Structure 1
Amino acid sequence: MPGPPRVTLDDVARRAGVSTATASRALGDHPHVAAATRARVREAAEALDYVASPEATRLAGGPTGRVAVLVPHPSRWFFGELLEGLEAALRAADLDLVIFRVGGPEERAAFFARLPARRKVDAVVVLAFAVDELEHARLASLGVDVVAAGGRVASYPSVGIDDHVAGRQAMDHLVHLGHRRIGMIAVGDTQRSGAGPSGKDVGCLAPEPDGRTSAWRAALGDAGIAPDDELVVTVPWGGEGGADGMARLLGLRSPPTAVFAHDDETALGAIRTLRRAGLRVPEDLSVIGVDDHPLAALTDLTTVAQPVRAQGRRAGELVVAALRGELADGLPPAELLPTRLVLRGTTSPPGAPR
């Protein structure tokens, strides 16, 4: 007759009320695990007569003092801000940050194909891109905690903003000014910067609706304005995309009087097209973005500010808490940081005099 089922590390983790990765570190005397958590895990292991397998022992090995960070576009402002905040929090805990670029599809596929052999870090942070099921399985094979910054990603603890709320702040401002024909330049390139919804890949395990697009529709509906899909264009991320999107909107028989762009860099591209067309901003057409990119203040762009660096810093704090065994097993709620409307000079009531 078969004997009783073998007790696994997962069983120990469930009994102790911690994640499997935390249980592994506790049994391996990881220095970042709190003493109370270590004691709780050991008590659970003794109660279950747990015997570590060679694989579990390998995963529990000594701490590396390193945290891997997966970033699609490290040269872009949004990711740079996330990295600044993340690095500050990890440095304060004597942890080093190791950056892995996962930009284009081929680069990303190659990285995840090699990932199971990369058990040389204590945790992983995913910056503002979603993972598909295969990538999720590869990350799980590392046996370490995973945290996301810049938006909700799969089933990981995450820090971001509420994109629908940010979109409503922008749209409600335009509606309040009296605009009724409001266009939207949405960003549809899933490999663009992680600022908001355009940083979420279509392969997310739990895809969320595009919050900024849904905000456009909801704000118009609440104001009694029928959404006109002719006023929506989708472009790749960046200034050139915004310039092209604005040109398409100006080509309509009845152009909008205001435009909501999904991010500031797209908004600035739209403004370039307007000025080259001899149109005044905001007298002839208002423009608003999201992010509060440094260029927004220099160009007097009205926008909705999001605390990007704070998102990175808070994600780092979650990593430290996970390594200390202070995060309960199971999915913590996504932490959403507040956004705020920043009034500048690119919005005004429709037809406002010079």
Structure 2
Amino acid sequence: MTDVPVREVVRRAGVRRVAELAGVSPATVSRALREGTPVSAETRARVRRAAASLGYVVPARTATVAVLARFPTRWFFAEAVAGVESVLAAGGHALQLYNVGDPDGRAHFFDTLPVRGRADGLIVVATAIDEAERAALDGLDVPVVVVGGTMPGRPRIGIDDRAGARTAVRHLVGLGHTEVALVSFDEDEACGRETTRARRAGWAEALDESGRARGPVLEVGADVEAGDAAAGALLSLPRLPTAVFAMSDEAALGLVRTLRRAGVDVPGSVSVVGFDDHEMAAVADLTTIAQPVHRQGELAGRAVLAALDGARPEGAQLPTRLVVRGTTAPPARR
């Protein structure tokens, strides 16, 4: 067996290879190889031994990227943050996560800006920024990239929410449904207002172009409990619509669960389409609009790092696709 030259080992060794050898995650490697980070002495020593044996040299400059998310534990946000972290960790960089979903916590963040002097770049995940907040972020003088929202003058990584909603409703219309209800995010919730408006516009356009009736609009929110509430509202109507488009899979899952518990056949009596392709959508056999959330986080991470290297970061619009499963079917005769 021919020996591999030392210079080849040095060239190939990266943070992931060090992580494999040390038996830790790439993020732990990044922390262990920097001073002043929260890593046990035993882990730090093991990582450094692995790095030395591979000839891995810590990059001369590591970056810290702050990520702002409204609901970090919810699926969309968690997936996007995981995508960002995978890119940062692979390059030996660090991530700082800030929860700005709570109004008081959000106000405190923008009043104090704890990222000042600590973060080299910033990623805003699905969170609308008002003028005062934008001015505060501009004052940080660091690259800012947006995922799933918009911020004038900043690169956006996301999807066409309007087109995705239009595709969902066109699927229902194509099955023969003449009235489609909407389970909507709260339009008064400022942080997600742009996404709400875009998906609502797509729902309305698909119905208007086909001459079909707009069903009731239920502004209940985005989580499973919101879907439960939407089902209760629909069941109180004199007549159920034959189809429903929900702006999120979580709301769609709650809706389907409560309708079925009430004895309503889905899709026999009511067809339901969600949005996102949540990890539980396939388990629940939910028809949905899939969007590549993890990929959006990856591209955002790369865009910030590109900006830190002196390049001009580019935005990207990723495609959505209809995933047909078992919660949609032609309407039954009544």
3-state SS in 1 of match to 2:136: helix
Q: 1:71·1:103 contact (CA, 8 Å) conserved in 2?
A: yes
Q: Superposed, which structure 2 residues align to 1:36-75 within 5 Å?
A: 65-75=63-73
Q: Deviations over 1:170-189 (max 9, x none)?
A: 10100000000111111117
Structure with more contact order per residue of length (Cα contacts < 8 Å, sep ≥ 6): 1
Q: Are 2:260 and 1:259 aligned? A: no
* Pick aligned residue for 1:221 from 198, 208, 222: 208
Q: Are 2:210 and 1:211 aligned? A: no
TM-score normalized by the length of structure 2: 0.77
Q: Superposed, which structure 2 residues align to 1:1-354 within 5 Å?
A: 65-115=63-113, 118-188=116-186, 200-202=191-193, 210-228=197-215, 231-327=216-312, 334-351=315-332
Query: Gapped runs of 5+ residues in structure 2?
Result: 1-59
3-state SS in 2 of match to 1:178: coil
The whole-number CA distance in structure 2 between the counterparts of 1:270 and 1:208 is 20
Deviation at 1:208, TM superposition (A): 7.2
Q: 2:269·2:331 contact (CA, 8 Å) conserved in 1?
A: yes
Deviation at 1:352, TM superposition (A): 7.2
Deviation at 1:227, TM superposition (A): 2.8
Q: 2:186·2:196 contact (CA, 8 Å) conserved in 1?
A: no
Q: Deviations over 1:211-264 (max 9, x none)?
A: 111111111111112435xx1111022111111112212222232001000010
Q: Alpha carbons of 1:257 and 1:208: their partners in 2 closer, same or farther (altered >3 Å)?
A: closer
3-state SS in 1 of match to 2:289: strand
Aligned residue pairs, count: 275
Deviation at 1:119, TM superposition (A): 1.8
Deviation at 1:154, TM superposition (A): 3.7
TM-score normalized by the length of structure 1: 0.73
Deviation at 1:64, TM superposition (A): 6.2
Q: Aligned Cα RMSD in Å?
A: 2.2
The whole-number CA distance in structure 1 between the counterparts of 2:153 and 2:233 is 38
Deviation at 1:91, TM superposition (A): 2.2
